[in-house]
Chains A and B, each alone.
Chain A
Amino acid sequence: MIHAEHLTKAFDGFVALDNLDTTIAEGSIYGLVGSNGSGKSTLLRLISGVYYPNGGWVRINDQDVYENPALKNRIFFLSDDLYFLNKATVDEMADFYSRVYTNFSWEKYAEYKQLFPIDTKKRISTFSKGMKRQAAIMLALSCCPDYLLLDEAFDGLDPVIRLLVKKLIMGEIADRNMTVVVTSHNLRELEDLCDHVGLLHKGRILFERELDDLKLGLCKVQAVLPREVIWDEVGLNVMQCKRQGSVVNLLVRGPAEESLEIVREAGASFAEAVPLTLEEVFIGEMEGVGYDYDNLIF
């Protein structure tokens, strides 16, 4: 279990993480979403022991990660900005990791070589962005980490390889109860992959919960309402309301059935609940803290 408490990290006066508390359960796939500069990558670097916190702590199974080789042997952090040794091939990189990760599996590596369409004897510097990403994922999975930290891991991968990677990750979780923390701005991607989601904004977790709970907690209602309604007065927690003539689109916090009932009671001639995407949840929540398109542009 990954546990952070009062975690704070600042760079030259800029507070990237501010008193952050979070818990990531063993065997879960935790999606970390947030605005640009919200501290997602910083959190991953703190979990992987690359950074040392200015305040608070982050522990895995009650052990500090920083300068803890035994624990780090079970963690693999795949950065969004990939690095390979100068002029190295994938095979040479595998040799590099195998020398320090005791769980490195050459069998798995051989298996991945068959699965991923890249030449492991060619210099990585000649690879395309997506191929480099494939190489990095191959190497990461070959290290057999118990905690895999992926920062924009799917960036540059084609849809087929994305599916392959997701399948491989799912397989590792099923086989070894691997815990995955993944950040991405492609919320659609996370929606398919994650079972937990945390929303990070200005260095703090705005909320975190299971994806199903998150979707159940919010709903989108489309209704035909000839008149204006003050939703607070009728007891509906509306996060977003858009009207076009008599058609109203509402983003509501609360269960779908209850919300539909209130809308109908408010005089709607027609009302239906539409499924929410994670992106809509993200935008809705971010608007709630003043981070919306209108505020950014106007």
Chain B
Amino acid sequence: MTMTTLSSEGRLRRLCGGMIKRNRSFMLYFGVLLFVLYPLQYTLHIFDENFDKRLANAANGFGSINLLGGANDHLTETTAILLCMAVFLMTLVIGLSQFAYLHSKKAVDVYHELPVNRSTLALSNIIAGFVTVMLPLAANYLLVLVVGVVKRATNPLFPIIGGGLIVDLLCWAVVVFAVLSIIAFVAVQVGSIFDNFLFSCELLVVFPAVIYLTINLFQQMLRGYSYSNNDFRWLLYTSPITLMIEHYSSGHKTMADTRYLQCLLVVVVWLLITLLLLWLTMKLYRKRPSEIAESSTARKPLVQLGVLAGTYIGGTLCGLLFSQISSRLDERYSFVIWTVIFSALIYVMAQVILQRGFKGIGKSLLPGAVTVGAIAVFCIILATGGLGYETRVPAAADVKSVSVDYRGRYSNNTLLLAETQSTYEDEKMPGVTFYNYRSKGDVDLDTPAGIAAVQRLHQVAGDRTLDNTAGENRYWTSSLIITYTLQNGRRLTRNYDYNELGAVKHELLALENTEEFKKETHPVFMMDAKNFASFVVNDALGFYQANITAQADMQRLMDALKADMLAEDLTKLEDVVELAPCYITFEPATPTNCLQLDRDAYNEGRVMVRSSYTNTLQVLRQLGLEQFVEPRIEEIAEMRVYYDNHFYRNNSPIVMMDMGNLKQYAKDMHHSYDVEEQDSMVSLVTDASQMARITSKMFNLGCIDTTPMSVVFYDAEGNYGGCAQIRTEDLPAQVLKVFPQWVWEEKGFDVPIAVEATHYESSIAVVGGADGPTEVYVAE
């Protein structure tokens, strides 16, 4: 008879060995799956004929070396996602399978009579599951390393990836260990494999899911709620199954990246959490009654967490969905009602699933009422403004400074940030260093006037009774972020969609009108003439252009502009348009990619010179540039009105024509449309009275919410000049009638088509349309 003496470690080792041996087929299958998803894809990718070219370009400074994703570029993006999914799925399957014995009466008899204590048994199963998943994974990583080394041998530019792979594998080890430990933790507390699956998934996804949903609810329901997309990565830290996604995306550039290191720190935290969980699992397992196998028993905290999370997630999601469908009520209150209804239904459904039927459901009614009640209270808080969240504006005394990601009408004048400087080399110019900069997207204000203007803007923007439909024809698509830095060092941020801000035109103008804002957003207040090579002056009609190169003249102009811009009252521009006589372009002295900055600076700029800029116009006169002081309307021999428009659209209520491209726009329109064509998109205007009407109404700057049309000017010789804009309602009826009705409808023109004449004291024109003549009432 052969007899051996086994210590606890010996039994653990032998038990694990047996389990791993039985998992051989699974390992083989998993290994092949991983091979297809990872080393094969990687090999195909790096041996692609274009890959070497891109690698060479990256090495020469054209584009980045990030040809692949992941730490040290060893994964294609598709592979990263599929690899994560495959490993999580397989770990889940193997974990559930390893602990399935706990959920079978027959199996538990065999396992629990074995001469092994329960801790050893649980640990054996975790280790066996761990090896079953990690061995094929490590083998495939090794294969990738071998392929990488081969590639390196054929192309020395190919990066070394060994370190990244080892770090990846270590992270995977922690993640797989954590997932298996969570499954074990649940397995010892429940009676069936279904419950193990259900509650394991609960613990793996509940935290990211609840946080994600809550953030989205805040964004949808709380006006001004601010949560940076970048911060969503914190969600990925809350579960081991999302951790690797963040790990792969964070290590995109270099392993020394802060985000990458932060993710590694979270991996270490997860390792500690897992060890704690494992200790708790052992404690629970030692006390676990074997007889709960095959029952629907589960420990209360697990059930309560699951039911609460399920009710919350399901209830609020259905609430959001149904609040969109039914529009009889205010959307927010509709959301509350539907959420309460669906929370109750989902709660009951969860109980029926957990209790395998309606029996005993009565006992769950009271906790159910409390759960649904808590969700209802939460939703009501959201629907009513988040306990003052929406209306909270910090007192001026508490504010140290405020930042607004809004640079007003001159946001196209780019302020380069010196601290963001990066360099690169061009293979065509070896030895020359080029520079890149990011531009400033916000304005920092710390004067009482500036802060007060932002506070007023914040106050109105936060008002949920604001008329959101005002100004809805504007092309506002971005957001407005206000960040206060308080005296106590804390920050308060609000984020508004421009969709919500139709009615804050007045407040935005008031903000732009503050001296501090003006000084922060235009080169004339920050730069000197010596920073620029020349100033190019263009008249409004596009007939004249002048170049000013003398530093003294340029500086005089800048000084005059400063005075005029500070003196102008932008609030008076509300709902007003005007034709500024000229605009000036500041030409760079050095190309931006050769500019080595030691402070934030503008390298170019533009300014629209309004009729009210008396100082500037005076300097122009003194420089002999009389033709720019006033638009020379009399030189227009004919004009054409196009349905197109060329307004520069930024987030400011003050819209201006794109000064850098007026001539080009005129050229494009001139060549694109034929005035002779029926149903044309262009109307030729030669009649003096009609031209007089158009010139009196046309503009290149102003506050309008409607979409204008373009006017191109021609001189006596038939040469096109520049272009301006005109509101459709300001066009003479005879001009307007050329445009077919579908143009108006498609382009959303505000011309009233076939509406009641009683609204207007108008002349009547009959114009052609797709379905024959249509009566059109045009306001005079």
Contact = CB atoms under 8 A, between A and B. Distances in A.
A83 B109 contact: yes
B8 A69 contact: yes
Interface residues of B, number: 33
Interface string A74-104: 0111010111010000001001100111111
Interface stretch (B10-18, B194-202, B406-414): B10-18
Contact of B115 (A69, A79, A81, A108): A69
Contacts of B114: 72, 100-101
A50 B116 contact: no
B256 interface: no
A120 interface: no
B105 A49 contact: no
A50 B109 contact: yes
A291 interface: no
Main secondary structure of the interface of B (DSSP, over half): helix
A270 interface: no
Contacts, number: 84
Contacts of A52: 287, 289
Contact of B14 (A48, A69, A73, A99): A99
A100 B107 contact: no
Nearest to A87: B22
B22 A49 contact: no
Interface string A42-85: 00010011111000000000000001111111011101011101
Contacts of B107: 83
A11 B191 CA distance: 14
Contacts of A67: 117-118, 286
A175 to B, nearest CB: 11
Contact of A107 (B2, B109, B291): B2
A79 B11 contact: no
Nearest to B286: A67
Nearest to B5: A102
Main secondary structure of the interface of A (DSSP, over half): loop
Contacts of B104: 83
Contacts of A75: 113, 115
A167 B333 CA distance: 81
Interface string A25-57: 000000000000000000001001111100000
Interface in A158-204: none
B117 A50 contact: no
B3 interface: yes
B464 to A, nearest CB: 54
Given A50-B109, A69-B116, A108-B1, A85 B22 contact: yes
B499 interface: no
Given A102-B3, A106-B2, A77 B113 contact: yes
B289 A51 contact: yes
B289 to A, nearest CB: 7
Given A83-B107, A107-B1, A100 B112 contact: no
Contact of A144 (B1, B11, B108, B287): B1
B39 to A, nearest CB: 30
B706 interface: no
A23 interface: no
Contacts of B483: none
A82 B116 contact: no
A105 interface: yes
Given A96-B18, A105-B2, A82 B115 contact: no
A71 B117 CA distance: 11
Interface in B112-135: 112-118, 120
B110 interface: yes
Contacts of A11: 291
A71 B289 CA distance: 20
Given A83-B107, A83-B109, A69 B2 contact: no
Interface of B: 1-6, 8, 11, 14-15, 17-18, 22, 104-110, 112-118, 120, 286-287, 289-291
Interface of A: 11, 45, 48-52, 67-73, 75-77, 79, 81-83, 85, 92, 95-96, 99-108, 144
18 contacts: A48-B113, A51-B290, A52-B289, A70-B115, A72-B114, A72-B115, A82-B106, A83-B106, A83-B109, A92-B22, A96-B18, A99-B11, A99-B15, A99-B18, A100-B114, A100-B116, A101-B114, A103-B3
Closest 10 CB pairs of A and B: A83-B106, A73-B115, A99-B14, A72-B115, A105-B1, A69-B115, A50-B112, A79-B109, A77-B113, A48-B113
Given A81-B106, A99-B18, A107-B2, 19 more contacts: A45-B290, A50-B109, A50-B113, A51-B289, A51-B290, A67-B117, A69-B11, A70-B115, A79-B106, A79-B109, A83-B109, A83-B110, A96-B18, A99-B15, A100-B11, A100-B115, A103-B1, A105-B3, A106-B2
